[in-house]
Structure 1
């Protein structure tokens, strides 16, 4: 069993409308832990690519050690399109359904279904989940009390780094941003022909030496085997297609409108290697409210991209003190 018995499966069917247009149903699968005595504190954990909710199997054990499960509701969904959550792509080719804005709205709808429409929450996300978390903090300022983002810089910065200035080192390191965003059916066909190999290779190549080959095999199987379902391959691809199109448009609108920065407390966590490749402080400080950002490197140089599982203890050790500074009555 990957998660403590207190984590119960929840599936919520969302029938949402956007700009007055009825959208196809989205089903969100999640695990939900409720403390014995509810304190109305909710933490949402969002996974990234190529994983699903089981990314956090070791993470929640560390949260338990530090007493967070005694006080907080924990919600860990599969992002729409990943794992056991479903998302029908936009029929018009806009990729809007899989945009971070739409997925952020899906997460809010999940919280509404579980706790009601006034419940505030803290969100922590890794990789693609961190991009949803950042969008949540911008679009739902009245609901999000704090945001923790792990291992990302803004989407636009990733594409800007794909150039010859470093002999295309960053381009090769982020090739999947282009490959996965290519039009259907090319990536679907190529990945579908050998999905186990492709995702096993992806996970291993992004994992640091400290953890390579040491992840729980049940978790790894859940990450790899989900892509035997063609709909999950499409879900991940639509995520990246949105990232290369509509997500950039939304971010550029924020820049023009002066709403690119978040106003809630922001915790930025990254691996040593990520910090060596990116000016994390220089990039994120202008996008946070003055005095409300903390930036921390976790683990050592043997830790790779998947810090919630490769460096679960160190990551949680940074998260928990920050969580305890947040005031759940501050926006009521």
Structure 2
């Protein structure tokens, strides 16, 4: 299969170029993965969706209107990747499998297996077995700003990385190993580093699900002084497709962020106004902050994202919260896990 050159960035670019393209999406039943798979379904891609548990994934895919070939497969197994890619022969892989965001995930061996080993294995398998002809990125791997650690500045992609957590260290290892594998076989692949992503599908203990599920009760929160780059999940999915349609250097790193910092307190206050939660129910300071997981830095640069795609995440916090509320209103069973 051959594809015309992608041309310059534009509003409809992902839809124009993913129609009929065979795409492998790992982690497609997860929070961000379901939105990437949904967006690719809308664009007409031919999806291959390996999942750990078919039954739970079926429910997610039905809710999010995801269509594709579903394969039950444990990517935690070291022998799983090469046969998968060899059989599927995708043109593009989106790797959205991660381990350690959910606080119940604490197996150190799986931190290293999923976050560090898997990305390079996918790149090496794609270097050998992928279908040829896709002119953009063959591998799009999702990283994290936790890879930078407490280095300060604007977290430009070439900033020194000193991650302070096991999650950050293993994600950084995955980024480094992916780059080495891509460079070794001249494979166009990249790591998209994400910040604080919110929207439908988040785990139940996070900030927005807590506010959405508060009912009439008080909402205990930290003081909320920490600043974060809050990025709406549909914007993240759109950005990942746009990066796949770009022409990255092998192993390139791109911050997929808004470039705007907002305090947790301000996010909670904006969300409360959208959700009609009385301000006196927000109990700031009732919970202790986790300073070991917070990073002090300037607004995160997204100059490279804009250069590669001609685009940046457009959705403001109030709009993102409103869209989350409206999406969840369509599902009476709820969406948080």
With normalisation by structure 2, the TM-score equals 0.31
Indicate the structure with greater helix content: 1
